[in-house]
Amino acid sequence: MLNPNLNLNQNLFDKEKIELKSVRDGFGDGLMELGKTNPDVVVLTADLSESTRVEKFAKEYPQRFFECGVAEQNMAAIAAGLGVSGKIAFISSYAVFSPGKNWETIRTTTVYNQANVKIAGHHTGIATGADGVTHQASEDIAITRCWPGIQIFSPCDAVEAQKATIASVQINTPVYLRFSRQKSPIITTEQTPFTSGQIVDFWQTENPQVTIFATGYLLYQALLAAKELEEENIPTIVANVATIKPLDGENILKLTQISQAVVTVEDHQIMGGMGGAIAEFLAQNKPLPMEFIGLQNTFAQSGSPEDLMKKYGLDKDAIKSAVKKVIERKIK
Amino acid sequence: MPTALTEDQIKDLEKKANLIRQIIIIMLYEAGSGHPAGSLGMADIFTALYFQILNHKPDNPNWEDRDKLILSNGHICPVQYAALALSGYFPVKEIKTLRKIDSRLQGHPHRTSLPGIETTSGPLGEGLSQAIGMALASKLNNKSIQVYCLGSDGELEEGNTWEAVMFAGKNKLENLILIIDRNNIQIDGTTENIMPLEPLKDKFQAFNWNVLEMDGNDMNTVIATINQAKEMKSPTVIIAHTVPGKGVNFMENKVEWHGKAPNKEETKKALEELC
């Protein structure tokens, strides 16, 4: 059942009533809040103000907004200059371009330089859809989580995205924020607590056979899978990995204590992703059988988010199969 | 070009520049690797900035009203380390630790390792953008600090440079001065063979920058030209014509001294020439 302490959306499993909102909208909402409350916050974009949801901030706080044109390296290094000068600089673009195209610029001028810059990566995952592979970031977790001293937030819905955006300025280190484009179910509510650095069980069971760790919008698919599995007498835990780095090892151990088996779920390449991070941790602390939901060493293609999730094995049915497979491996 | 300085003051600064050159040679010999040509060529400009032009407090490196000096081509950091040490940012004896384990003097400058380093650099083409960020922050804070970015001619080949040049021109950053070390050499050869940069002046003018040129190895000219740039109302680039390896005859204008440390004999010879 849904964790009763989290005040999650009560309409979560009601297809008629569930509200859909793009995760990126929460970023825009968070920036508007920060614009009001924190005069040090500045925002930069590289010709993507509308689609990365910084347009409202730009209109409301023009003095604190910098349009860099189609120049992601310049945007990143300007932000670093601001970030070492007392400002908190958000750079906002598609993740393929930032932190993709400007990876080394961010590495040197923000991460190694310890500049107070927040990198907002949009259009992550194949669910970005029709634009195709060139605009679907599926490696961004891999290329950021190998950086020492960065934190990575990957919110599950627009409400959590707003909270993660606001929480990111409480941290003086660089933060990578991962957002998706398509409309997706609102899982949490205003009252759901968000604590950076914590992995939280959204779906609880007394005697779980498997623990599912999911990040981003796919958490919803994991919850749908858990509900259906429960009806098949396969109890599971579903945990929301909203912070990928630093990894909450303590809760990973706690949440796998009974299940002794893991499935990870992310819209990202399997290699180097959130599942990889958990595998690295478990291999060193408590090796367990694991299955990974994500892109299996392939690029995707254009299509609707639903068609892509189905074809590339990211939806609830794929998650259910992975759960059953890992149970079999556990028994063997 | 006249400056407000007396002949004696200019002479003192020239002596300081010479001392910086000696320190560069000693540092690079001790380190066993590094970049002498650009470091020696820029010694006069660094001397002018740290000992005459910059508004700074070496005993309070984070003083918030200080001018900012950003070194974009981080590989010539020996000249900056020497200038910082002689200014009092850290003990001069520490220069012998360059590039060694646990040293604050990293092979390329790292902001949080050493006082006086405003930002991390090494990968080329990133300094001007960071200087722009600092210039913007200064304007947002209603400060009237001056931001100086020092870069090389070779790194103008990086696309990031021109992204930054466009941005600064558009935003009319009058508190920003870029000084380009126009010494015509880069790792693989001369700039005009590797990737021609001329007509360089026209390029910057086309992006709405003021352009000044100077002999970057003449102390009087350097000071007068930078002072002139400070008075200008939009971003200004100073194309500083320098001699790579300046002051050490066998290194001058030699591409091979871009990134090679002198051995014991070469060090002795170089120091004899400088002292």
**Residue pLDDT, tens place only, A25-80:** 999 999 999 999 999 999 999 999 999 999 999 999 999 999 999 999 999 999 99
Task: Flag whether pLDDT at B111 surpasses 90.
Answer: yes
Residue of chain A nearest B171, judged by CA positions: A66
Task: Flag whether pLDDT at A183 surpasses 90.
Answer: yes
**Residue pLDDT, tens place only, A184-197:** 999 999 999 999 99
Arithmetic mean of pLDDT, B35-53: 98
- Distance in Å, alpha carbon of B75 to nearest chain A alpha carbon: 14
**B120:A42 CB<8 A:** no
> Chain B residues with CB inside 8 Å of A64's CB?
140
DSSP codes, B150-205: EEESGGGGSHHHHHHHHHHHHTT-TTEEEEEEE--EETTEEHHHHS---SHHHHHH
Q: Is A277 helix (H, G, I), strand (E, B) or coil?
A: helix
Residues B179, B184, B228: CA angle, nearest 5 degrees: 25
Instruction: State the pLDDT at residue B171.
Output: 95
* Cβ proximity of B217 and B40 under 8 Å: no
Phi and psi dihedrals of A315, rounded to 5?
Answer: -90, -175
Rounded to whole angstroms, what are the CA distances from B89 to A92, A276, B81?
37, 44, 9
| DSSP code of residue B97 | G
Does B67 lie at the interface with A, CB-CB under 8 angstroms?
Answer: no
> Which residues are paired to B239 by β-bridges?
B180, B213
Residue of chain A nearest B126, judged by CA positions: A77
Of chain A, the end-to-end C-alpha distance in Å amounts to: 28
**A66:B136 CB<8 A:** yes
Nearest by Cα to A61 from A41, A78, A81: A41
List the single residue in B70, B112, B123 with the smallest CB-CB distance to A108.
B123
* Cβ proximity of B137 and A78 under 8 Å: no
Residue of chain B nearest A103, judged by CA positions: B123
**A113:B111 CB<8 A:** yes
CA dist B199 and A283 (Å) reads 59
Q: Is B125 helix (H, G, I), strand (E, B) or coil?
A: coil
Task: Flag whether pLDDT at A277 surpasses 70.
Answer: yes
Q: Is B213 helix (H, G, I), strand (E, B) or coil?
A: strand
**Residue pLDDT, tens place only, A131-182:** 999 999 999 999 999 999 999 999 999 999 999 999 999 999 999 999 999 9
Nearest by Cα to B242 from B265, B218, B261: B218
Q: Which residue has the tokens 């405003």?
A: B118
Determine which of B120, B138, B148 to mutate to test the interface with A (most A C-beta atoms within 10 Å): B120
Arithmetic mean of pLDDT, B200-212: 97
- Distance in Å, alpha carbon of B163 to nearest chain A alpha carbon: 6
Strand ranges (E), chain B: 68-71, 147-152, 176-182, 185-186, 189-190, 210-215, 236-241
Tokens of B63: 């003083």
Of chain B, the end-to-end C-alpha distance in Å amounts to: 28
CA dist A2 and A7 (Å) reads 9
Task: Flag whether pLDDT at B2 surpasses 80.
Answer: no
- Distance in Å, alpha carbon of A150 to nearest chain B alpha carbon: 16
Report CA A322 to chain centroid distance, whole Å: 21
> Chain A residues with CB inside 8 Å of B120's CB?
108-109, 112-113
CA dist A93 and A227 (Å) reads 36
Report CA A245 to chain centroid distance, whole Å: 11
CA dist A237 and A230 (Å) reads 10
- Distance in Å, alpha carbon of A118 to nearest chain B alpha carbon: 15
**B163:A63 CB<8 A:** no
The pTM score is 0.96
Q: Which residue has the tokens 């600090």?
A: B145
**Residue pLDDT, tens place only, A93-108:** 999 999 999 999 999 9
Task: Flag whether pLDDT at A332 surpasses 90.
Answer: no
Phi and psi dihedrals of A22, rounded to 5?
Answer: -70, 135
* Active site positions of A, annotated: 72
**A109:B136 CB<8 A:** no
CA dist A142 and A245 (Å) reads 11
* Whether complex ipTM tops 0.90: yes
**B130:A112 CB<8 A:** no
Residue of chain B nearest A39, judged by CA positions: B140
* Cβ proximity of B258 and B187 under 8 Å: yes
Q: Is A297 helix (H, G, I), strand (E, B) or coil?
A: coil
Q: Is A186 helix (H, G, I), strand (E, B) or coil?
A: coil
Q: What are B12-16's contacts with CB under 8 Å, separation 24+?
A: B13/B47, B13/B48, B13/B51, B13/B52, B13/B219, B13/B223, B14/B44, B14/B47, B14/B219, B16/B47, B16/B51, B16/B86
Does B137 lie at the interface with A, CB-CB under 8 angstroms?
Answer: yes
| CB contact burial B199-215 (16+ within 10 A = b; e otherwise) | ebeebbeebebbbbbbb
**Residue pLDDT, tens place only, A212-236:** 999 999 999 999 999 999 999 999 9
CA dist B177 and A80 (Å) reads 18
Does B160 lie at the interface with A, CB-CB under 8 angstroms?
Answer: yes
**A81:B136 CB<8 A:** yes
> Chain A residues with CB inside 8 Å of B166's CB?
69, 71
Q: How many CB atoms sit inside 10 A of residue B158's CB?
A: 18
> Which residues are paired to A137 by β-bridges?
A124
Phi and psi dihedrals of B100, rounded to 5?
Answer: -105, 165
Which residues are within 8 A (CB) of A190 and not within 5 positions of it... i.e. 6 or more apart?
A159
Nearest by Cα to A185 from A21, A316, A28: A21
**Residue pLDDT, tens place only, A285-325:** 999 999 999 999 999 999 999 999 999 999 999 999 999 99
**A84:B119 CB<8 A:** yes
Q: Identify the sign of the CA torsion B186, B245, B54, B117.
A: positive
* Cβ proximity of B238 and B226 under 8 Å: yes
> Which residues are paired to A89 by β-bridges?
A42, A117
**B133:A83 CB<8 A:** yes
CA dist B205 and B237 (Å) reads 9
Does B112 lie at the interface with A, CB-CB under 8 angstroms?
Answer: yes
Rg for chain B, CA atoms, rounded:
17
Instruction: State the pLDDT at residue B1.
Output: 63
Residue type, B39: S
Tokens of A20: 């859909």
Q: What percent of chain B has pLDDT over 70?
A: 99
- Distance in Å, alpha carbon of B112 to nearest chain A alpha carbon: 7
Does B166 lie at the interface with A, CB-CB under 8 angstroms?
Answer: yes
- Distance in Å, alpha carbon of B120 to nearest chain A alpha carbon: 6
Instruction: State the pLDDT at residue A331.
Output: 79
**B137:A85 CB<8 A:** yes
**Residue pLDDT, tens place only, A9-39:** 999 999 999 999 999 999 999 999 999 999 9
Residue of chain A nearest B131, judged by CA positions: A81
